[in-house]
Amino acid sequence: MFELRLEQGSLLKKVMEAIKDLVNDANFDCSATGFSMQAMDSSHVALVALLLRSEGFEHYRCDRNISMGINLANMAKILKCAGNDDIVTVKADDGTDSVTFMFESPTQDKISDFELKLMDIDSEHLGIPEAEYDAIVRMPSAEFARICKDLSSIGDTVVISVTKEGVKFSTRGDIGTANIVCRQNTSVDKPEEATIIEMKEMVSLTFALRYMNSFAKATPLASQVTISLSSDLPVVVEYKIAEMGYIRFYLAPKIEE
């Protein structure tokens, strides 16, 4: 049997909103470690990896490892029915082909349950080694989202360049060009407003803005985003999820033409 209970049910809603447009179907793996998922988009250039550690839940029981194949659009439909303050319980019995979502209002005066059919999904799992990155940028997630949105009105791709000067986001399109430079800024009153740049090597990579805008849908999950760049690796865009885990997006860089 598998069962988890999360008092902050809105967190699961935000996770689904962050990934449902990128991935259609995914296997959610439940183990003693926690609730995790790895899936690629249909073109195999972007990957999302989610981890919610077991200790972050108010209740977590996993008698044996199970993998639940879920259509994310359908799961998002169900989670939309949960109130933002609702307590969410997810339950699956061994050997059944469905998962149950239960939503309890904080005052316990409304209790709903939804059963979602599971699917057989033949998903490919990639081994992602820990890597040393040439540059790691931490910045306010809302700022990153704003930059991606603004640049996508000018061009289709973004060049992210990290130098001693800061991190530069550039694009070009039919109407012209745009460059946005963010400098390191650690002197802010609130740590969530800081921009911190760790650079070992200068790096400059080009990515499709369409994907960056999709990743930015995770913005409500975290006040800061971490962008890890190396010249020979996919970029990692990471949003930490409270004390529980993370959602990481990997995106292959544009090939030099």
Partner 1 sequence: DIFQDALETYFDSK
**Chain residues that interact with partner 1, rule: CB under 8 A:** 40, 43-47, 124-129, 208, 232-234, 250-255, 257
CB 222, min distance to partner 1, A: 23
CB 156, min distance to partner 1, A: 10
Nearer to partner 1 (CB atom), residue 127 or residue 176? 127
Distance CA(9)–CA(79), nearest Å, equals: 9
Residue 17 host element (H or E) = helix 10-19
Instruction: Report H helices in 132-195.
Output: 141-152
CB 144, min distance to partner 1, A: 20
Nearer to partner 1 (CB atom), residue 129 or residue 176? 129
CB 43, min distance to partner 1, A: 6
Strands, E assignment, 21-106: 25-30, 34-40, 46-53, 59-62, 66-71, 87-92, 98-104
Nearer to partner 1 (CB atom), residue 126 or residue 188? 126
Measured in whole angstroms, how far is the alpha carbon of residue 43 from the centre of its chain?
A: 18
Tell me phi and psi for residue 209, to 5 degrees: -65, -30
Nearer to partner 1 (CB atom), residue 98 or residue 231? 231
Nearer to partner 1 (CB atom), residue 46 or residue 72? 46
CB 109, min distance to partner 1, A: 46
In sequence order, which residues have a C-beta less than 8 Å from that of residue 125 and are 6 or more positions away?
Answer: 38
